[in-house]
Amino acid sequence: MPELPEVETVLQGIEPCVENKFIRAIIVRQSKLRWEIPKNIQQHLVNQKVIKLSRRGKYLLFHLKVGTLILHFGMSGSLKILTTNKPPTTHDHFDLIFDNFYLRYTDPRRFGSLLFTEEDPEHHPLLASMGPEPLSNAFNERYLFKKAKNRKVGVKQFIMNHKIVVGVGNIYAAESLFLAGIHPLTPVSEITEARFEKLTKAIKKVLQSAIKKGGTTLKDFRNSEGKAGYFQQKLNVYGRANEPCLECQQLLQDIRIQNRATVFCPKCQPL
């Protein structure tokens, strides 16, 4: 599933193609994604120039001359740049048509979304209450420590809460906690600022290195079709339940938190 690094990779991949280009049309084949694609979206897009692309959490934003397209990939969404007519298949839900190419959105599970807003996107209900970007300076041990005060929730849920920090999904939450040596169920109010420093640094590190690898993939393939980013990353714990810890050989444990698979090393990440 597209995590923050993959969204960033997609952004970097399509940016050179779409920036300062005009959207000529949108073809919607399946409007029922997580939310209905607005029926009047076409009128907002046609002949509008894409001024720039940006990312907020896992949302990809197309800033137009007037208004902003807000795209989320859900669990199984992907964008391709196509330059020749290719018959759409079952899960190709919309095409964004430019002059010499089009972007095709594919999403088997339809947890993604495509919305449009005329207001400042940061004020859009979906984005307004988001926490800081994990790679920004605002996301640091002091910030987390203050937020964690008087809270009982476990640290994995805490860092996956978008009001606390955006873009930390299940994979990177598990990997970051392993790197920081913190048990996923540790109540956040019991975590010292020093340990939060380890955690914030771990989160930045895993995300950065995945983005870097995604960027490398882009250079190699020069389009957004290649599987990018985290697939190539060495994962220490995610998907390795009951396998030996790469640090201490102890068998990795698999628990369920909020119905999410959560793998950790009981020896490296004691409670």
For the annotated catalytic residues, the residue numbers are 2-3, 58, 260
String of contacts with DNA for each residue 11-50, x by CB under 7 A: ---------------------x-x----------------
77 lies in the binding site for DNA (CB under 7 A): no
Give the C-alpha separation, 58 to 38, whole Å. Answer: 20
Minimum CB–partner distance for residue 107 and DNA (Å): 9
Quick one: 41 or 159, whose CB is closer to DNA? 159
55 lies in the binding site for DNA (CB under 7 A): no
261 lies in the binding site for DNA (CB under 7 A): yes
The size of the interface with DNA (CB under 7 A), counted in residues, is 33
Near DNA by CB under 7 A: residue from 17, 27, 75, 255: 75
Which stretch, 45-53, 102-110, 137-145, 223-231, contacts DNA (CB under 7 A)?
102-110
Residue type, 56: R
**Considering only residues 166-195, where is the footprint of DNA by CB under 7 A?**
167, 169-171
Minimum CB–partner distance for residue 59 and DNA (Å): 7
Q: Backbone phi, then psi, for 219, in 5-degree steps?
A: -60, -40
Near DNA by CB under 7 A: residue from 17, 82, 97, 153: 153
3-state secondary structure the chain: CCCHHHHHHHHHHHHHHHCCCEECEEEECCCECCCECCCCHHHHHCCEEEEEEEEECCEEEEEECCCEEEEECCCCCEEEEECCCCCCCCCEEEEEECCCCEEEEECCCCCCEEEEECCCHHHCHHHHCCCCCCCCCCCCHHHHHHHHCCCCCEHHHHHCCCCCCCCCCHHHHHHHHHHHCCCCCCEHHHCCHHHHHHHHHHHHHHHHHHHHHHHHHHHHHCCCCCCCHHHHCCCCCCCCCCCECCCCCCECEEEEECCEEEEECCCCCCC
Minimum CB–partner distance for residue 62 and DNA (Å): 17
Near DNA by CB under 7 A: residue from 111, 197, 209, 212: 111
String of contacts with DNA for each residue 126-145, x by CB under 7 A: x-------------------
269 lies in the binding site for DNA (CB under 7 A): no
Applying CB under 7 A, which residues contact DNA? 1, 3, 32, 34, 57-58, 72, 74-76, 90-91, 108-111, 125-126, 151-154, 157, 162, 167, 169-171, 256, 258-261
